[in-house]
C-alpha cells in the first residue's frame, strides 16, 4: 500500500491526477458517460481563431487539437482496425479477468478474517518449531479467547479467498476493458476544426479559458 501510494505521489508530480484519471473505476465510468453528454464547456464562447494560445494550457492534457481533413482513412483501413479491436478488446478482458482471478489469494489479504487466519497459522508454526521464543500476539490471543475454533476460522478464510476469485475476475476484466477502450480511442480518427476540451477527460476547471483571447475579450466587453 505504501509503495503504491508513493508511486502515485511521484507520478502526480509529472502527470496530473493519475489515479483519478486512469485507475479510479468511478472516474473511468464518468469519463465514458460524459462523452455522451449534450452540453459541455467550450474554451472560446464564439469562434476559435486557431491562435494556439490554449494549446498547452491544460494540466490534464484534455484539449483536443484540430485534425486535418486531408488524412481521411479509407474504408478498408477502418474495417481492419475495427476487426483488430473487436478481437483485442475481448482478449484483454479475458486476460485481465484471468489474471485478477489468479490473484485472489493476494487480494484476499486485505480481508480481516484472512489476515487473522494467517496470523493464527504463523503463530501455530512458531509455537511448533520454536516454542521458547513465542512472541506475544494480541490478535491470536483475542481469537483464542473468542471461543471460535481454528477449523471454523480457516474455513471462513478459505470461503473469503474463494469469493475474491469472482471479485478479482471482475476487477481484472474491467481493467482489461478500460485498456482496450483506451486503445480504441487512440486508433479512432475524429475530425476537428477547433481546439476543444475532450468531453470525457475535461474536468471543466476553466484554466484554458484564461489563455483564450476571444474569451478574455468577451469578458471585458
Give min distance, CB of 50 to ligand SF4, in A: 5
Which sign, positive or negative, has the C-alpha torsion 70, 84, 90, 182?
negative
As beta bridge partners, residue 197 has 63
Helix (H, G, I), strand (E, B) or coil at 36: coil
Decide if 104 contacts 111 (C-beta within 8 A).
Answer: no
d(CA 215, CA 159): 60
Q: Which is nearer to ligand SF4, 123 or 211 (CB)?
A: 211
Binding site for ligand SF4 (CB under 6 A): 43-44, 48-54, 57-58, 60, 62-63, 194-195, 197, 202-208, 211-212, 214
> Can you point out the beta strands (E) in the chain?
63-64, 196-197
The residue among 46 and 130 lying less far from ligand SF4, judged by its C-beta, is: 46
> From the CB of 200, what's the least distance to ligand SF4, in Å?
11
Q: Which residue has the cell 478574455?
A: 216
The dihedral built from the CA positions of residue 115, 118, 122 and 127, taken in this order, carries a sign that is positive
| Closer residue to ligand SF4, CB minimum distance, 31 or 104 | 31
Shortest spacing between CB 17 and ligand SF4, in angstroms:
10
- Nearer CB in complex with ligand SF4: 151/220: 220
Q: How far is the CB of 59 from ligand SF4 (least distance, A)?
A: 7
List the beta strands (DSSP E) in 147-208. Answer: 196-197
Nearer to ligand SF4, 60 or 164 (CB): 60
Task: State the minimum distance, in angstroms, from the CB of residue 69 to ligand SF4.
Answer: 17
Least spacing, CB of residue 20 vs ligand SF4, in Å: 12
Q: Which CB atom, from 51 or from 77, has the smaller least distance to ligand SF4? A: 51
| Residue 57 grid coordinates | 494550457
167-186 core/surface letters (b: 16 or more CB in 10 A; e: else): ebbebbbbbbbbbbbeebee
Residue with cell 479491436: 85
Amino acid at each position: 500500500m505504501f509503495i503504491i501510494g508513493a508511486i502515485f505521489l511521484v507520478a502526480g508530480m509529472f502527470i496530473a491526477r493519475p489515479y483519478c484519471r486512469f485507475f479510479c473505476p468511478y472516474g473511468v465510468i464518468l469519463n465514458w458517460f460524459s462523452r455522451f453528454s449534450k452540453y459541455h464547456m467550450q474554451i472560446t464562447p464564439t469562434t476559435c481563431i486557431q491562435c494556439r494560445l490554449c494549446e498547452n494550457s491544460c494540466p490534464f492534457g484534455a484539449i483536443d487539437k484540430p485534425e486535418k481533413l486531408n488524412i481521411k482513412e479509407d474504408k478498408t483501413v477502418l474495417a481492419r482496425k475495427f476487426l483488430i479491436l473487436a478481437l483485442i478488446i475481448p482478449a484483454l478482458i479475458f486476460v485481465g479477468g484471468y489474471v485478477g482471478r489468479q490473484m485472489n489469494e493476494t487480494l484476499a489479504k486485505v480481508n480481516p478474517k484472512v489476515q487473522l487466519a494467517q496470523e493464527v497459522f504463523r503463530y501455530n508454526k512458531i509455537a511448533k518449531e520454536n516454542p521458547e521464543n513465542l512472541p506475544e500476539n494480541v490478535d491470536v490471543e483475542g481469537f483464542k479467547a473468542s471461543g471460535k475454533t481454528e477449523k471454523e476460522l480457516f474455513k471462513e478464510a478459505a470461503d473469503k479467498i474463494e469469493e475474491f476469485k469472482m471479485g478479482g475476475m471482475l476487477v481484472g476484466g474491467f481493467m482489461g476493458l478500460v485498456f482496450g477502450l483506451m486503445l480504441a480511442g487512440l486508433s479512432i480518427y475524429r475530425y476537428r476544426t477547433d481546439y476543444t476540451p475532450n468531453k470525457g477527460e475535461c474536468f471543466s476547471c476553466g484554466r484554458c479559458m484564461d489563455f483564450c483571447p476571444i474569451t478574455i475579450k468577451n469578458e471585458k466587453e
